[in-house]
Each structure stands twice: as structure tokens, then as C-alpha cells.
């Protein structure tokens, strides 16, 4: 018999645009049914959740989501595993595959996550690496669909550091008809191969945009260059001046955690145009839909 390879979710490009829209629709159904309706898709299944880096929204949403679908979350830290004492990623993958139905991993190495998936016989979900954050992009798509009814034809302006969140947003947008424009200074911009329009002008980026998106300027691992990054990215702050160049109905998005006064001003983050808190909640619903898709079909 031919062995069936598991579905993985590593860079977000593994799922077609049509399937992504269906998945987002399912996430909306799960949101509407919570908390009255429980789930049974993961009954009898355990999900390993390996966090080598700090996490708030990702860890809690996966842990709660697994439980609400009837499964059992097994939360692990890198320092608690034999990985920290030299056991290979490949062997860890082989062993975890014998115990659990899926593996969720947040890692400082994208290559390690790819290797984990290559040697796993169960689905592997990227919960953040330095290159991609595809689970965040799922919640972003759900938030956009909630606000505008349809994804196709929307424009999202990502302003600031061209990082893993921007890259995943570009991938997800290209699959679902969302135009993503990334405004970043030289040295902070995404590579030209990414499916997004790239510019150094934040005002040009937000013109005609349906959503303006930001992220922190100093991510995990960037602490040593924090002062330089803040100086270089200061013209890309999301504030009232930048919003004045967008449409009146333009919403503001941020993946959190936020540093009010740096990449976004407090009045914008907490203002009436902010969709940030819906984004955060949607991590739960989108990831529940993802787990259902990867494990049930």
C-alpha cells in the first residue's frame, strides 16, 4: 500500500486559495457557535505543542482550541525536551509522531520546522518561525472577511518592518485575491520574490487601502539593534497623519504584542477603526478550523 503523507502547514502556501476561503468560512461558523456548541473533531486525539520561543496568543488559542474540539493539548518547552541536550530534530519528529495526532511548533529555526515536517507521519503546523507566521495570516483573512464580506479585490497596506508576518500576509493574500502592499525602508523590505507590491513610501501604500497593518519594530532576536531599528522605522509609524491618507472606512490591524507610541499610536490602536482585538480572537477560530482540516479533512 502507498503511504499517505500528512498535510502540513509550514509557509501557508500548502493550501489552495479556494480551500483557504472555505477554511475561513468554517472558522466563522465556529466563532458563531462558541461557546454553546462543543466540538468532537479531536476527541481521543492529543496535539503536541512545542514552544521554543515565548507565546501568548498562539499558545493560548491552540491550547483552548484543541480542548474545545475535544482533544488534549500537550504543551512542551524546548528546554524541557531532549532537543536541548542534543537529540536531533529528526528523531524528535519520529518519536512525537508515535504519540500524538499533530505537532504545533514555534521555533527560532525555520529549517528545523521544515525538517520536523519532513520526518513526521502526522501534520506539523508552523506556529511561528523567523520566516513565516501562517497561522496569524489565517486570522488576518478571517478578520478581513468579517469586516468586508469578501476577500477578493481588497487591498492591505503593511507598513513597517518586512518580517515573517508581512511575508505570510503576502502569501495568504496572493492566494485569495487580496492585494498586499509592503512599505518598508531599505534594509527592512521583503525579498522581491514575495507575492506583494513593495515600496518605501508608506503614504503611497495606504492610499486606497482597505486595511493598514503594523507589527513591532523590535521582534524577538532584534534586541541588540533596537535603537537603530526604531530610528530607521520611525517614518512608518501608524498614526493619525498616516490614516489621513487612507479611506474613511479603512481599518487598522496589528498582530500584537503592540508597543503604543512606537509602531502605532495609542489613539489608533484603541480607536474606533481598530480591528486588532477581533484579529486576536480570530486566532482561536481560524486555528480550530485549521486543525479540523488537517486532521479530519
Q: Omega before 257 cis (within 30°)?
A: yes
Rg (CA), the chain: 19
Q: Which of 11, 161, 210, 215 does the annotation list as catalytic?
A: 215
> Is 135 one of the annotated active-site residues of the chain?
no
How far apart CA 171 and CA 126 sit, in angstroms, is 14
Q: If 0-12 CB within 10 Å is exposed, 13-18 middle and 19+ buried, where does residue 207 land?
A: middle
Q: Which of 26, 57, 135, 136 does the annotation list as catalytic?
A: 136
Residue 50's nearest CA partner among 96, 110, 85, 114 is: 96
> Is 161 one of the annotated active-site residues of the chain?
no
Q: Which of 8, 26, 57, 106 does the annotation list as catalytic?
A: 106
Q: Which of 189, 237, 255, 285 does the annotation list as catalytic?
A: 255
> Is 133 one of the annotated active-site residues of the chain?
yes
Q: Which of 57, 254, 283, 285 does the annotation list as catalytic?
A: 283
Q: Which of 26, 31, 57, 133 does the annotation list as catalytic?
A: 133
> Is 91 one of the annotated active-site residues of the chain?
no
The arrangement of strands across the sheet holding 211-214 comes to: 197-199, 179-183, 155-159, 211-214, 251-254
Length of the chain: 297
Question: What residues are labeled active site?
Answer: 106, 133, 136, 215, 255, 283
Amino acid at each position: 500500500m502507498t503511504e499517505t503523507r500528512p498535510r502540513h502547514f509550514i509557509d501557508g502556501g500548502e493550501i489552495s486559495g479556494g480551500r483557504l476561503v472555505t477554511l475561513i468560512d468554517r472558522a466563522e461558523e465556529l466563532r458563531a457557535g462558541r461557546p454553546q456548541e462543543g466540538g468532537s473533531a479531536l476527541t481521543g486525539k492529543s496535539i503536541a505543542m512545542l514552544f521554543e520561543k515565548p507565546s501568548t496568543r498562539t499558545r493560548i488559542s491552540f491550547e483552548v482550541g484543541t480542548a474545545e474540539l475535544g482533544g488534549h493539548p500537550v504543551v512542551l518547552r524546548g528546554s524541557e525536551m531532549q532537543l536541548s541536550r542534543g537529540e536531533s530534530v529528526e528523531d524528535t519528529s519520529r518519536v512525537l509522531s508515535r504519540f500524538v495526532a499533530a505537532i504545533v511548533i514555534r521555533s527560532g529555526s525555520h529549517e528545523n520546522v521544515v525538517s520536523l515536517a519532513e520526518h513526521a507521519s502526522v501534520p506539523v503546523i508552523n506556529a511561528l518561525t523567523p520566516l513565516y507566521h501562517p497561522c496569524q495570516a489565517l486570522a488576518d483573512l478571517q478578520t478581513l472577511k468579517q469586516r468586508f464580506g469578501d476577500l477578493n479585490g481588497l487591498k492591505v497596506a503593511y507598513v513597517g518592518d518586512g518580517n515573517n508576518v508581512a511575508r505570510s500576509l503576502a502569501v495568504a493574500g496572493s492566494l485569495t485575491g487580496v492585494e498586499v502592499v509592503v512599505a518598508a525602508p531599505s534594509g527592512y523590505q521583503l525579498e522581491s520574490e514575495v507575492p506583494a507590491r513593495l515600496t518605501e513610501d508608506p503614504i503611497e501604500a495606504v492610499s486606497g487601502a482597505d486595511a493598514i497593518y503594523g507589527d513591532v519594530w523590535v521582534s524577538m532576536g532584534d534586541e541588540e539593534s533596537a535603537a537603530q531599528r526604531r530610528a530607521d522605522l520611525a517614518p512608518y509609524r501608524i498614526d493619525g497623519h498616516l490614516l489621513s491618507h487612507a479611506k474613511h472606512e479603512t481599518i487598522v490591524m496589528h498582530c500584537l504584542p503592540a508597543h503604543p507610541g512606537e509602531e502605532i499610536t495609542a489613539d489608533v490602536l484603541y480607536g474606533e477603526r481598530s480591528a486588532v482585538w477581533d484579529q486576536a480572537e480570530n486566532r482561536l477560530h481560524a486555528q480550530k478550523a485549521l486543525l479540523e482540516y488537517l486532521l479530519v479533512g
